[in-house]
Amino acid sequence: MSYTARIGPSILSSDLAQLGQECRRMMECGADYLHLDVMDGHFVPNITFGHPMVECLRTAVGPDPFFDMHMMVSRPEQWVKPMAAAGASQYTFHLEATTNPGNLIKEIRESGMKVGLAIKPATTVEELAPWAAQVDMALVMTVEPGFGGQKFMEDMMPKVSWLRSQFPSLDIEVDGGVGPDSIHRCAEAGANMIVSGSAVVSSDDPRSVIALLKNVVMEAIQKRSLDR
């Protein structure tokens, strides 16, 4: 088992006028990485930001923090090079947005980034499976992508469990409605990369929320290794 528990706050629900400061605050509060949500108003019914903002954030936080770019865009091929140049660490694209995942995976690697592959709630995990061995991370969406603050979809957990059983060392991320109330289900199913937006960012004590989420996932990983 090579994966570890990592918590990546989504800064979508933070004060967008202070994004650099908010990113630094999350890292100081124990975040392992930052999950940055890019939306184009076409793949999802909302708009956020693009690579110019990522470049500014990279300058604001320095070279170390890992940027997981969640690309909720219709033409993911278009932004690979600009995102790499802006300082993105991982390019997580949606399977539904491309007709040639194999080529996109290759382009992302050639640009020097890690590869994440995301599926929306209506997409089956069997559609992701053929690509799982080629990517660094699989993202199982636990809300319909587009907005922060939605309700966690517990019925996505069988996808996570199945992926964990088939790919014991794959990084598996969950995103959407994840917080202290839903983390146990995610951890038991086998997720190890945890995106949490409103539950962390809107909390009076983000450090404690991040620590709680991480402990629950670490305990589940330990239990799984003892059961083996």
Residue nearest to ligand DX5 (CB): 197
Q: Using CB under 6 A, which of the segments 61-69, 103-111, 170-178, 220-228 binds ligand DX5?
A: 170-178
CB 145 → ligand DX5: shortest distance, Å? 4
Residues 140-159 that bind ligand DX5 (CB under 6 A): 143, 145-150
Position 177 contacts ligand DX5 (CB under 6 A)? yes
Q: Is 116 annotated as a binding residue?
A: no
Residue with tokens 């708009």: 47
Residues 93-132 that bind ligand DX5 (CB under 6 A): none
d(CA 87, CA 79): 12
DSSP symbols for the chain? -----EEEEBGGGS-GGGHHHHHHHHHHTT-S-EEEEEEBSSSSS-B---HHHHHHHHHHH-S-S-EEEEEE-S-GGGGHHHHHHHT-SEEEEEGGG-S-HHHHHHHHHHTT-EEEEEE-TTS-HHHHHHHHTT-SEEEEESS-TT-SSPPP-GGGHHHHHHHHHH-TT-EEEEESS-STTTHHHHHHHT--EEEESHHHHTSS-HHHHHHHHHHHHHHHHHHHHHH-
Position 180 contacts ligand DX5 (CB under 6 A)? no
Q: Using CB under 6 A, which of the segments 8-16, 57-65, 126-134, 213-221 binds ligand DX5?
A: 8-16
Tokens of 193: 């990369």
Q: Is 196 annotated as a binding residue?
A: no
Q: Using CB under 6 A, which of the segments 20-28, 106-114, 189-197, 205-213 binds ligand DX5?
A: 189-197
Active-site residue list: 37, 175
192 binds, among ligand DX5, Zn ion, none (CB under 5 to 8 A by kind): none
Q: Is 175 annotated as a binding residue?
A: yes
CB 191 → Zn ion: shortest distance, Å? 14
Q: Is 41 annotated as a binding residue?
A: no
Residue ranges for the known binding site for substrate are 10, 70, 146-149, 177, 197-198
Residue ranges for the known binding site are 10, 35, 37, 70, 146-149, 175, 177, 197-198
